[in-house]
Amino acid sequence: MAIKVPEITALFWLTKLLTTALGESASDFLVKAIDPVTAVTATFVVFAAAMAAQLLARRYRPWLYWCAVTMVAVFGTMAADVLHVALGVPYAASSLGFTVILAIVLIAWRRSQGCIDVHTVSTTPRELFYWSTVSATFALGTAAGDLLAHGLGLGYAGSIAVFAAVIAVPWAGWRFARWGAVASFWFAYIVTRPLGASIADWLGAERALGGIGLGHGRVSVVLLALVVVLVAVTQGRHVRMSRAGALTELPDTAA
């Protein structure tokens, strides 16, 4: 197969951040708008369908890839919330648990495939490890964001400030301290989740809860529109690059 993940650019990071925020706001809206059991079940079905379509694809397709990421964000948020709301698991315990799960997945990926570089995701086993890692990062990010905002009492605005500072660490380490690109990538990837979720909660939550009260439904619509625009831009860029690559591979018929 061809590589199944996008090029890591500023456009990738912006889209990733918006999908994490969309996952948080959409999850909160759906659970409150309809029966929670129905919401979780329906979301799981869509999540499973999106993942199946992504895994069956033979190459990277922007719309398909980002649809899968968005559904991981929505379902991952619900899964993490169910542990706390329905099962009463403390945020600290769920954060620790998801950290352990993420570490296990990354170690297994490294030992099985030799590396965890996303630029090598071109086989089914590597893609399965990739999406397992992505799912674990979303669940961990959700739990960690709730831990800071609620468990430690920082609130949404305080959490945004903390995670915005933390996400600059891997970039600075890679840029100035010669940190490895792969480790820096996954460090930043993990932190985008609680940062995006904190932003979504701050925008959508009621003022009494520390938000600005726009409503989760309204925030979800705006975020979805922004994601669609960015993916459309990504799709256009992908098509242009694919055509340019195809032209360079054509045989020289003029000779």
**Number of structural domains found in the chain:** 1
Task: Summarize pLDDT for 26-57 with one digit per residue, the tens.
Answer: 988 988 888 878 888 899 999 999 999 999 99
Range of the domain at 196: 10-243
Using an 8 Å Cβ cutoff, are 33 and 87 in contact? Answer: no
- Residue of higher predicted confidence among 81 and 248: 81
Of residues 136 and 228, more confidence is placed in 228
How many Å apart are CA 135 and CA 106, to the nearest integer?
Answer: 12
The residues, any chain, with a CB within 8 Å of residue 116's CB and separated by 6 or more, are: 106, 109, 110, 129, 133, 182, 186
Q: Is residue 5 part of a domain?
A: no
* Whether residue 24 has pLDDT greater than 50: yes
Can you give the pLDDT at residue 246? 61
Supply the pLDDT for residue 78: 83
Q: Is the pLDDT at 233 greater than 90, yes or no?
A: yes
Q: What is the model's pLDDT at position 146?
A: 83
3 pLDDT band, cuts 50/70/90, is confident
Q: Give the model confidence (pLDDT) of 196-228 as tens digits.
A: 999 999 999 998 888 999 999 999 999 999 999
Please indicate, yes or no, if residue 140 is contained in any of the structural domains: yes
Mean of the pLDDT values across residues 112-130?
A: 92
- The model's pTM: 0.89
Q: Could you tell me where the DSSP H helices lie in 86-215?
A: 91-113, 124-146, 155-176, 181-204
Say if 227 falls within a structural domain. Answer: yes
Residue 248 has what pLDDT?
A: 59
Q: Is the dihedral of CA 231, 33, 196, 72 positive or negative?
A: negative
What percentage of the chain carries pLDDT values higher than 70?
94
Instruction: Establish how many alpha carbons lie within 13 A of residue 230's alpha carbon, considering only the half-sphere containing its beta carbon.
Output: 21
Which has more pLDDT, 39 or 127? 127
Long-range Cβ pairs for the range 33-36 (8 Å, 24+):
33/217
Provide the mean pLDDT of the chain.
Answer: 88
Tell me what pLDDT residue 253 has.
44
The 10s digit of each residue's pLDDT in 235-254 is 999 888 877 766 555 555 44
Q: Is residue 156 part of a domain?
A: yes
Q: Would 4 be classed as within a structural domain?
A: no
Say if 251 falls within a structural domain.
no
Mean pLDDT value of segment 149-163:
90
- Average pLDDT value for residue range 141-167: 89
Domain assignment present for 145: yes
**pLDDT value for 139:** 82
Q: Are 68 and 16 in contact (CB under 8 A)?
A: no
Per-residue pLDDT, 245: 66
Say if 40 falls within a structural domain.
yes
